[in-house]
Structure formats: C-alpha cells, structure tokens
Amino acid sequence: MSYKPTIVAFLCNWCSYTGADLAGTSRIKYAPNIRVIRIMCSGRVDPTFVLKSLREGADGVLICGCHPGDCHYHEGNYKCLRRYHLLQKYIQQMGIPKDRLRLEWISASEGKQFAQLVDEFTESVAKLGKSEIRQVMETLT
C-alpha cells in the first residue's frame, strides 16, 4: 500500500473554499488526505503558516486562491503568488523538495477542478514519501 500523506491546505474564503464546498454539494469524490484551513484571502497566507505546517510534519502544503483578476480583495492572490515563489526557493534551501508546496487558482465554480487537484497533489506528494522534518526537528531539540 502506498504512503498516505497528510496535506495542509489554505483556501481563500471567496473562491477556493466555496469551490471545495461545491465539490461537496456535487458529491465529487477525492482523496481524504487533505486538511483544509479557511482564510479570508490567499494573501493572508503568511510564510510562517507554510513553514509551521511542514515543521509539524505535513507532507504537503496546498494554497488555493481566486484566479488572477478575480480576487475579492483585488490583488491578494498576486501577493500570494510572489510569496509562493520565494517560499519554494526557501524550502529547497532547507532541503525540502519544492513540490511539497503548491499554489493553484480555484474559482467558486470549480468544484470538479478542486477534486482533481487534490487527487493529483496527493499522488505527487505520496511519491515524495514521508516528510522527515518533524523527526529531524525533534531529534535536534
């Protein structure tokens, strides 16, 4: 049996969280490894949140926001995009594969796309195997 990863996801309230709810009301099935945290805007995703998730042992972190141009707060998703690119570089330097972090745009009507995304990301994270960070951190401290 393949490894069952744990994924922490940050979904913006207006587009992506609504899209994930739509997947639910449409009864579209997807992998059960994802744990969603609701935030108002993808722009609220503080790099600390991502690092904290990884440190606590999350095998993958997913951020979803509104499509470019559709942000409820005009441009929060662009801010998120910039931080995302920096973060990917940063975690790589720490020895974490950059594919453990992913940013995607999911609109309120894209329930199906959300389910597909979760399946796809779960699969790719499962391939990377268990994240060792939590263990390393525990032995260090």
Q: Is residue 105 within 8 Å of residue 66, measured between CB atoms? A: yes
Residues 63, 65, 76, 117: which binds other proteins (CB under 8 A)?
76
CB of 25 to other proteins, least distance (A): 6
Residue 40 per-residue DSSP state: S
CB of 122 to other proteins, least distance (A): 11
* Side chain identity, residue 63: I
At 68, phi and psi to the nearest 5?
Answer: -50, 130
Instruction: Answer yes or no whether residue 81 interacts with other proteins by CB under 8 A.
Output: no
Residues 41, 63, 87, 96: which binds other proteins (CB under 8 A)?
41
Q: Which of residues 85-114 bind other proteins (CB under 8 A)?
A: none
Instruction: Answer yes or no whether residue 131 interacts with other proteins by CB under 8 A.
Output: no
Q: Is residue 66 within 8 Å of residue 16, measured between CB atoms? A: yes
Tell whether the torsion through CA atoms of 106, 40, 20 and 118 is positive or negative. positive
Residues 1, 2, 29, 140: which binds other proteins (CB under 8 A)?
29
> Of all residues in the chain, what percent are helix, strand and coil, respectively (each to 5)?
50, 15, 35
Binding site for other proteins (CB under 8 A): 4, 6, 8, 14, 17-18, 20-21, 23-25, 27-30, 32-41, 43-49, 52-53, 56-58, 67, 69-76, 79, 83, 115, 134
